[in-house]
Amino acid sequence: MKTLNDFNFNNQRAIIRVDFNVPLDEHFNVTDTTRIEAAKPTIDKIISDGGSVVLMSHLGRPKGFENNYSLEHIVGSVEKILDYKVKFVKDCIGSDVEQAIKELQTGEVLLLENLRFYSEEEKGDLSFAEKLSKFGDIYVNDAFGTAHRAHASTTIIAQFFPNKKCFGLLLAKEIESINKVLSDSEKPVTAILGGSKVSSKITVIENILDKVNHMIIGGGMTFTFVKALGGKIGDSICEDDKLDLAIEILKQAKEKGVQIHLPIDVVAADSFSNDAKTQIVDVKQIPDGWQGLDAGPKSLAIFDRILKDSKTILWNGPLGVFEMETFSKGTIALGESIAEATKSGAFSLVGGGDSVAAVKQFGLEPKMSYVSTGGGAMLEMLEGRVLPGIAAILKD
């Protein structure tokens, strides 16, 4: 696996695919700079080698050239975090870009305009990729968040750099962290899968059953399993067409010696509201008109014991509706249990939009071994898929 550290960038111009698809407020201020911060070590290494940097990224889902999605809005934040002057050009191909590239000096950083202003980017257009390839001597992919897309800048471009392409430090770390869970894990391994739907996690569950010792299932998925086992779930969320699948998963887990842990009690509410009336009930005895919205205290005590004994932990999905304070306690307690296990030497990997949002919201991010920057990409890797953006770098 060729990484940044296999190259010396002295007098070389690196064209880097970064993931600067960051959230902006109504005044175009960046509200979360995590992805920009994550790219800094790669850019620092190239500049300190004596190279120059051309950055390319997408932002949002524009339909053609839309000012709301211009990367010009983020230049100030990028400069502040990188601590370099960042030049910007209002296009990503064409004569203006060619001129800006010609003028780029050693130690300088140039940011190109939003790649998705051109439909050719998402189509994986060969000619568009070739035009982009002319702007660098070495191609670096450091955008894990888009590594599962066969787009022009993430995958197709790599073929124009047969011996001069590599993973950036962030993307290499993402691959290493996921492999640490899937291939090189220290036992016991515990996976926590939360979220609302079994259907969105089924391939992940099937792929990791051979690799884990414990699987904690939480969130809305719980109730499909509980109903399949004959429990009363009241008005809780449930995928009725997945009941047989839930039983099949439990059967497969038993055959493989994997212990599946469902909550045994839940915080039930009489409406989907932060101000709802609540009661703690047995997960199999939720009254009609009530719905389970968080894991209960007995469940959290069991999960805590399992996690404290684990050496490798994967967390993908919250235990409850953590966006509402009333139903956030389960997710917070789970996060604190993982933090304690990590402090005692376990390796913890957190990924998926909601889990990442939760660890950030509750100040737990620094207490985890690694927090992934790519939700969809991480899920696909956990499903056992080879991501096109990764395969393109590995290909000779």
- As annotated, the binding site for ATP includes 201, 292, 323, 352-355
Q: Binding site, residues? A: 19-21, 35, 58-61, 116, 149, 201, 292, 323, 352-355
Residue 31 CB neighbours (<10 A): 9
CB distance 379 to 178 below 8 Å: no
Given the structure tokens 């502040």, which residue do they identify?
80
- Residues 6 or more apart whose CB falls under 8 angstroms from that of 361 comprise 322
- Residues 6 or more apart whose CB falls under 8 angstroms from that of 163 comprise none
* Residue 386 DSSP symbol: P
Active-site annotation holds for 330: no
Catalytic one of 2, 180, 232, 376 = 376
- Residues 6 or more apart whose CB falls under 8 angstroms from that of 3 comprise 166, 167, 168, 169, 172
In the chain, the N- to C-terminal Cα span, in Å, equals 11
Active-site annotation holds for 124: no
Could you check whether the bond before residue 287 is cis, i.e. omega within 30 degrees of 0? no
Active-site annotation holds for 131: no
Catalytic one of 107, 164, 353, 360 = 353
Q: Binding site for substrate, residues? A: 19-21, 35, 58-61, 116, 149
Catalytic one of 17, 35, 173, 242 = 35
Tokens for 226, please give them: 């509980």
One DSSP character per residue, 31-75 reads S--HHHHHHHHHHHHHHHHT-EEEEE---S--SSS-GGG-GGGGH
Which candidate, 5, 1, 9, places its Cα nearest to that of 136?
A: 9
Positive or negative, the CA dihedral 391, 126, 145, 214 is negative
Which candidate, 152, 126, 169, places its Cα nearest to that of 14?
A: 169
Task: Give the strand pairing for 13-17 and 138-141.
Answer: parallel
* Residue 283 DSSP symbol: T
- Residues 6 or more apart whose CB falls under 8 angstroms from that of 92 comprise 56, 112, 113, 114, 115, 117, 118, 132
Given the structure tokens 């391939």, which residue do they identify?
203
Catalytic one of 40, 90, 180, 197 = 197
The amino acid sitting at 82 is L
DSSP 3-state of 316:
strand
Active-site annotation holds for 353: yes
Rounded to 5 degrees, φ, ψ at 109 are -125, 130
Residues labelled as active-site residues:
35, 197, 353, 376
